[in-house]
A and B are shown apart, each in its own frame.
Chain A
Amino acid sequence: MIRYLIKNNFKLMFRNTWSIVVMLLGPILVIVVLSSAFSELMKSYEGVGEFAAGYRMQDAAGNNVMLKALKAAGEEAGIHFYEYPEGEIKDMMEKNELAGFVEFFENEYVVYKSADYEVEGITLEYFMNKMMNTAVNASLQLQEQEDIVLPVEELNFMPAVNARDYYGIIYIVYFCWCGIICATGVLSNEKKYGIARRFYVSNITGLQSYLGKFIPVILTVTAGMAIATAITILLYDIHWGNPILSIVIVFMMIAAGTAVGLMFYNLSDSLVITIILQFTIVWFMGFFGGSFETYMFSSIPDTLKRSSPIYHGNRALVELSCMGESNYAASSLVYSFAIMVVCSMIAILADSIRKRGRA
């Protein structure tokens, strides 16, 4: 029975011109406007030149072989490392116009970034992250060797992304989380015309009823986002990285966003409350996640950023676009999957409780 429910709900959603227009034109228009408005800002990010960074080795922080390799790789990447064994780090950075500072401890390191060299600071952070991962792997295998040569030519740590690619990607992500718009027609009709009563007087289960909405919303939003993405690729030559992984990430976010929306609807039993809650939460997730100011330039604390699934999605997809790989791909998928499962369970439970206790 669920096949026919899915099929007809999908038709209803696709015939809801208003929601389709919003889901298609929304991302396209926002991408056009923001990519133009912030193209200069993003250019400055692309064009980072050589810069100086300080470092300090605390006791037992590492060996000279590793440091030598790191400095060599830094030179290759345009980062000149200078040692400052003594003094206040903040003062050192100000006096010597250092873009950043790395303090090495026994098992960790801390990167300090200067507010005056924001882009360089991010570049240094990327560099250190990438280099240390590579260095640790190399040192595990080559502990006996005196010289370690890090493969700097293979490193692609610079997240050089232009405004069109950035906004072209992140606004597809943002609208993925607003997919509940596509279900508004069906949900309001069911309530307004007493259609839900027909479901009560039938053999349909709570899970079937949920899937009967969940799957068509996902299909509709996926179709809408695919069209919007294709249009923006054709018009603005937006580069997406690894297409299969990108599609999976976007699809999982659509599923998560839909589950969140349906959970709000089943909990509140009100379309207005659902829309308000969904849009508010997505706005905050986007605010933390780089939808309104790029996550690279964002001054929001990392903990808050990482709490937003949109940040994981944005970062994964942008890095896939400009670097070809991303450590955030897995976290984005896991995060979206967890949200989808938890919210779906709550939605089904809430619906079941409401049905059992119908006034």
Chain B
Amino acid sequence: MEDIILKTTDLTKKYNNKVVVDNLNIEIKKGEIFGLLGPNGAGKSTTINMICSIVRPTAGAIELMGKNPWKQKKDVIHKIGYIPQELAIHGNLKAWENVELFTSLYGIKGEQLKNAITESLEYVGLMEHSQEFAKNFSGGMKRRLNIACAIGHTPELLIFDEPTVGIDPQSRNFILDKIKESNQKGATVIYTSHYMEEVEAICTRIAIMDNGKIIACGTSEELKKIVNGNDETITLEEVFLTLTGKKLRDYAE
């Protein structure tokens, strides 16, 4: 059981009687890159927000590294690196200052903080631009800075909520390589995206969510087998569309 980093039991979230996450049960082992796929409004971000103690669950339990993140937040929160979907950085701060601000929230200071900032910026390839204002960065650079702001405290669990939205293939490729590198260095990763090829390329295990429930979970190959037996020509996107349907998912938060 020791290698279970995250376990949710019957995790549920309701907004005004509308069930957004419905009795979710997942287990993520240490060292995994766990992909969470789903159409818009499937409940992916809400699930991540509950794990990160941003949104309070309506029912169910979360066990993060053996602790309840809502009751034992101080013991566990510094072990998480949360990379939000939004570019949660200050445009009027320089890259260095942004990383300093967010890394210092974990109690890191002085020389240790300087080293952490340097490592984070080098890690995302922005050290040369450390003294430039974030507002002048390109979309890809901002995405990389968004990541740098979440990794300075060397978390054990990295949670990426659609980190490659709206960036060019080079930046995307860079970010994916870095996620794999982090994983090789020992970090466990939870990754949500709409890009099937990304998920297929980096995730060791994938869960497909729809209407707040996990409708399939396994490796890419296992998911393909669920849908189409031994036909290896099927893509993950086809699996996804088969499982979740082709109906447009318009929703409002």
Contact = CB atoms under 8 A, between A and B. Distances in A.
Interface of A: 1, 3-5, 8, 11-12, 15-16, 185-186, 189, 193-195, 197-204, 357-359
B56 A202 contact: no
B104 A4 contact: yes
A357 B102 CA distance: 24
B160 interface: no
A1, A185, A201, A359: which has the most chain B beta carbons within 10 Å?
A: A201
A203 B106 CA distance: 6
Interface string B97-125: 10011101111110001000000000000
B54 A193 contact: no
Given A11-B92, A197-B54, A201-B53, 10 more contacts: A3-B104, A4-B109, A8-B100, A8-B101, A15-B92, A16-B92, A193-B86, A201-B82, A202-B102, A203-B105
Given A4-B109, A12-B92, A198 B102 contact: yes
Given A198-B149, A202-B77, A203-B77, A5 B93 contact: no
Interface of B: 15, 49, 52-56, 74, 77-78, 80, 82, 84-93, 97, 100-102, 104-109, 113, 149-150
Contact of B109 (A3, A185, A193, A357): A3
Contact of A200 (B53, B89, B108, B149): B53
A215 to B, nearest CB: 15
B132 to A, nearest CB: 14
A195 B105 contact: no
A191 to B, nearest CB: 11
Contact of B93 (A8, A204, A358): A8
B74 A11 contact: no
Nearest to A189: B90
A5 B105 contact: yes
A186 B88 CA distance: 12
A203 B56 contact: no
B88 A194 contact: yes
A357 B82 CA distance: 21
13 contacts: A1-B104, A8-B100, A194-B84, A195-B88, A195-B89, A195-B90, A197-B52, A197-B82, A198-B88, A201-B54, A201-B82, A203-B78, A359-B15
Nearest to B153: A202
B105 A199 contact: yes
Nearest to B133: A15
B56 A4 contact: no
Contacts of B89: 193, 195
Contacts of B113: 4
A359 B84 CA distance: 18
Contacts of B100: 4, 8
Contacts of A11: 92-93, 97
Nearest to B78: A203
Contacts of B53: 200-201
A3 B74 CA distance: 20
B105 A202 contact: yes
A203 B49 CA distance: 16
A316 B97 CA distance: 41
A203 B105 CA distance: 6
Nearest to B102: A198
A202 B54 contact: no
A12 B135 CA distance: 12
Contacts of A5: 101, 104-105
Contact of A201 (B80, B93, B108, B109): B80
Contact of B74 (A4, A185, A203, A359): A203
Contacts of B88: 193-195, 197-198
B165 to A, nearest CB: 13
Given A12-B90, A194-B88, A198-B102, A1 B109 contact: yes
Nearest to A356: B56
A11 B94 CA distance: 10
A5 to B, nearest CB: 7
Contacts of A8: 90, 93, 97, 100-101
Contacts of A204: 105
Nearest to A9: B101
Contacts of A193: 86-90
B108 to A, nearest CB: 8
B104 A359 contact: no
**Ranked 9 nearest A-B pairs via Cβ:** A4-B104, A202-B105, A194-B86, A201-B82, A8-B101, A194-B88, A15-B92, A201-B52, A195-B88
B103 to A, nearest CB: 8
Contacts of B104: 1, 3-5
Nearest to B16: A359
A79 B195 CA distance: 89
A62 to B, nearest CB: 67
B153 to A, nearest CB: 9
A201 B49 CA distance: 9
B169 to A, nearest CB: 25
B54 A203 contact: no
A276 B108 CA distance: 38
Contacts of B107: 1, 203
Contacts of A12: 90, 92-93
A198 B77 CA distance: 11
Contacts of A189: 90-92
B239 to A, nearest CB: 31
Contacts of A359: 15, 55-56
Contacts of B52: 197, 200-201
Contacts of A203: 74, 77-78, 105-107
